[in-house]
Chains A and B, each alone.
Chain A
């Protein structure tokens, strides 16, 4: 089946620094990649939608200058948390989307997540 990896799985950084998280689709080319944030014991909150070669589309309330998304290829998207603060500490999950057949239905495959802790 389709596999999505994330790196790193866990990162601790100091306040004010930037952190980059990678999301890769290992055995398929992803039409679109998504970035989610999950707070403890909460559901997933969509942060942005990323298409290869174009600017990411951010959800309302998500600061695009703080959460930089680059989708360099059909298998790689990166999320950079700039000038991180303790309130940015969270579990970040990416997913990669693949169209099913020739229709308009897509299936998302999720990465294992990255635990970010900002001290």
Chain B
């Protein structure tokens, strides 16, 4: 069965430091992967997605993610974190029969940013 694991429940970084949020997936076929961000009391905003091609994907707000098939990973990175990046981050894989229309979410990683 498809699944997504985000090993880190909570991460704290200092403003200006680099960030890496881990995501591992379990999926038999070619995975279609997403990273979303959720601010408190809000819906989800898409940061970036990977469907095919270049394994390093650029997203919004300075985020990037690298797809590594050999490690079944799709880690999210940012070289310099801003205080406004404090939020909940969800990794997801698309699945479904007849089309990749369902999303399976990881448990999320809550990011806190220290000034």
Contact = CB atoms under 8 A, between A and B. Distances in A.
Q: For chain B, what secondary structure do more than half of its interface residues adopt (helix, strand, loop), or is it mixed?
A: strand
Given A6-B43, A99-B99, A106-B100, 4 more contacts: A43-B90, A97-B101, A106-B94, A106-B101
Interface size on A, as a range, is: 20 to 34
Contact of A32 (B36, B51, B101, B106): B101
A106 B45 contact: no
19 contacts: A31-B101, A32-B101, A42-B107, A42-B108, A43-B108, A91-B41, A93-B44, A95-B103, A97-B101, A104-B98, A104-B100, A105-B94, A105-B99, A106-B101, A107-B49, A110-B43, A110-B45, A111-B43, A112-B43
Contacts of B99: 99, 104-106
B63 interface: no
Contacts of B101: 31-32, 49, 97, 106
Interface in B93-115: 94, 98-103, 105-108, 110
B90 A44 contact: yes
B46 interface: yes
A91 B106 CA distance: 17
Contacts of B49: 107
B42 interface: yes
Interface of A: 4, 6, 31-32, 34, 41-44, 46, 49, 91, 93, 95, 97, 99, 104-113, 115
Contacts, number: 55
Given A99-B99, A104-B99, A110 B90 contact: no
A69 B88 CA distance: 28
A46 B96 CA distance: 13
A27 to B, nearest CB: 16
A110 B44 contact: yes
B27 interface: no
